[in-house]
Amino acid sequence: MEDLQTLLTAEDPEPVASYREKEAAGPVLLVCEHAGRRIPARLGDLGLSAEDRMRHIAWDVGAAGLARELARRLDACLLMQPYSRLVCDCNRRPEVDSFIVTVSEDTPVPGNMDLDPAQRRARIREVFEPFHRKVAATVEDRLARGRTTVFVTVHSFTPVFLGRKRPMHVGLLYNRHRELAARVGRRLRRIEGLVVADNEPYAMDDESDYTVPFHAERRGLPCLEIEVRHDLLRDAEGQRRMADVLAAALAPSVAEVAGTGR
């Protein structure tokens, strides 16, 4: 692969997409770091088949649709990353190995192998940094205007990972701030048949996550990462149905932790 001085071309999309940014008046700021599966033209297909580029290794299946439905129900602004996490994972710190993977699940990613420092810097500079500048600027603008802000990220996960079945339908991830997850979890667990887990399918920490610790926890904002099993999100109807379930639990919980409800 050539030593790229610049990565994105005029034909590539901007590294952040916003939804309801101007009109949203609610306290929730939604972020979806793995919303898209685009690969910059200069990176080709990263050596992967079209089938592999549709798999969960490339993006969080159904998460963008779920996030948009939640934004409408919660009157929330949503910020999304359109590029595949195989280009770089915008929910990882750039210095960790999982920021640019050479093997995802059990699939080698040829286009990510043997990158030189300039190639890594191009992905950081043109994908990761602009996305997080936008998130940071949005948070700072809200706080400067005195707007209550509750930070929620939206993800999906596979029903089976490396042969291991995942029985939960929803995972509520948290690190230093547990209160919002606890309140949402209590409400979701009242729903018969819905399996809800804390810090599953993985536990949030400063190594495995970047967005919530960097943008929310260090500012003391109420926050939560939501993971939904992606077989529940495969079509628009499933996304709408799960958004109804989550919004019904999120809205009163957000009001409680934000001090606007009882």
Q: Would you place residue 57 in the very low, low, confident or very high pLDDT band (cuts 50, 70, 90)?
A: very high
Mean pLDDT of 165-171: 96
Q: Which two tokens stand for residue 165?
A: 């079945």
pLDDT in tens, 111-154: 999 999 999 999 999 999 999 999 999 999 999 999 999 999 99
Surface-to-core class of residue 121, CB atoms within 10 Å of its CB (0-12 exposed, 13-18 middle, 19+ buried) = middle
Surface-to-core class of residue 184, CB atoms within 10 Å of its CB (0-12 exposed, 13-18 middle, 19+ buried) = buried
Task: Report the alpha-carbon distance of residue 189 to residue 202 in Å, rounded.
Answer: 19
Please state the pTM of the whole predicted model.
Answer: 0.94
With beta carbons less than 8 A apart as the criterion, state whether 217 and 177 touch.
yes
User: How confident is the model at residue 260, as a pLDDT?
Assistant: 58
Q: Would you place residue 3 in the very low, low, confident or very high pLDDT band (cuts 50, 70, 90)?
A: very low
User: How confident is the model at residue 195, as a pLDDT?
Assistant: 98
Radius of gyration (Cα) for the chain, nearest Å? 18
Which CATH number describes the domain made up of 17-257?
3.40.630.40
User: How confident is the model at residue 261, as a pLDDT?
Assistant: 46
Extents of the domains making up the chain: 17-257
**In this structure, is the dihedral angle defined by the CA atoms of residues 231, 236, 238 and 241, taken in order, positive or negative?**
positive
State the virtual CA torsion across 152, 156, 162, 168 in degrees, nearest 10: 80
How distant, in Å, are the alpha carbons of 34, 73, 150, 251, 260 from that of 147? 26, 19, 10, 16, 12
